Amino acid sequence: MIQKFTTQIFKAIKTDFVKVSAWSAVSTLIRMITGFVSIKVVAQIIGPSGIALVGQFINSITLIGTLGTGCVGQGVTKYIAEHYDEPEKQKRIIVNSVRITLVSTIIMSLLVILFYKYIGSSIFKTNQYNSIILLFGVSIGLYSFNTLFISILNGFKAFKKFVIVNVASSIAGLILSIILVLQFGVYGALLNCVVSQSVIIAITLFFIRKEHWFSSIFSFAKTDTQTLKKLGKFTIMALTSVILVPLSQIAVRSYIADRISMDSAGLWEAMNRISGMYLVFITTSISTFYLPRLSELKENFHLKQEIIKTMKIVLPPLALVCLTIFLTRDILIHLLFTQKFEAMRELFALQMVGDFFKMAAWLIAFLFWAKAMLRTFIITEIIFNVSYVLFARMGVDAMGLPGSVYAYALNYTLYFIVVIFIFRKTLVAKNI
């Protein structure tokens, strides 16, 4: 029994997913450290209410910024990986994605610049930070094209360079964050969310300038209708997530702030930040390797093998990490935050349950993207984002702040069950 288990472990270590994860481990570690330092500084200076405000702004600029990319990132990664042996098709994908991003960026920039006062008052309930919204409107293109370039890099499986870009960006972002927060407090934390993009894209451009595909960005080749249709499907899928996920988080955060307090909303946001910090290792590996890999596979049996293999590698360590975080929650609150955040200790148990089922579900749900299942993806996204908000409202009304994490755990457990049902034929497929 022990020998069989040991053999399985060694086989897992040799898998491509683990090799890529090893490459991304350095990047992930740096991001975790920089995230740790950044959140400690921010929490120390601006407190729970400031954390809530920053979280609200991040959700908003993620929504607007990703709309500025044309939402083609996942499609670009998929089709570049899928056509790994067809350079001309890859070039068409790059050329057309650049044009989509350019048009989308111009539209979103103009909208934000024209309505910056309304957007600022809607997000912050004050006109105090309108200048930041205006600056964001001017700089959306930096965010959009950085996202696109990273997606292209990912599609070509340039894992080493992908890691280097992430490490350099994380370090630069940390330095900028500390300087701005120390200098300007809450205003500096919000300003960092915008200004950091100009630094990050400069780093990305420096590292990709010699890539063989880089010249395709400036190509004047004819727009290809078929490629636009392919990318358009992914635009709709990404658009669904980009709109619904931030809006659901904004809705939950706002409801907690209205029903309980802004500080409680800050505790909820801080709990999400902890989840984001440790789950980054898995999400980085998934975005770097998993989607391109699933996109290459055609047969259900091979897809099943890849999913099961990856779940065996990811889920046992994830369960152990979740348990460890729960058991050391008091130490983590002391290290990451201040005494003002001690009340969040009661949120950890259900948050860890939700995180586990969220990642388990995602490993299967990436088939939506690999198979380009537009209609089913949109339906499930709408249902589970709406259900999360409804569960959270009911939970907060019944139990206060802990009700929000009960809702989170329940929602992702149900989502996990549903995606298993949707892909049941793939998950039991046999080799023909």
- Specify the pLDDT at position 63: 79
Residue type, 30: I
Contact 14, 308 (CB under 8 A): no
For residue 398, what is the DSSP state? H
For the entire predicted model, the pTM comes to 0.73
pLDDT for the residue numbered 383: 96
Look at residue 128 in the predicted model and tell me its pLDDT. 87
pLDDT at 191: 86
**Per-residue confidence (pLDDT) for residue 9, from 0 to 100:** 39
The whole-angstrom separation of Cα 103 and Cα 92 is: 17
pLDDT at residue 271, as a whole number: 94
Identify the DSSP state of 286.
I
Return the pLDDT at 347. Answer: 95
pLDDT at 192: 83
Model pLDDT, residue 391 = 97
| Residue 123 to residue 26: CA distance in whole angstroms | 35
Query: Residue 232 and residue 227: Cα distance in Å, rounded?
Result: 8
Which residues of the chain carry a pLDDT beneath 70? 1-39, 41-42, 159, 281, 284-289, 291-292, 295, 372, 432
pLDDT, tens digit, for every residue of 43-88? 777 777 777 777 778 878 877 887 887 777 777 877 887 777 788 8
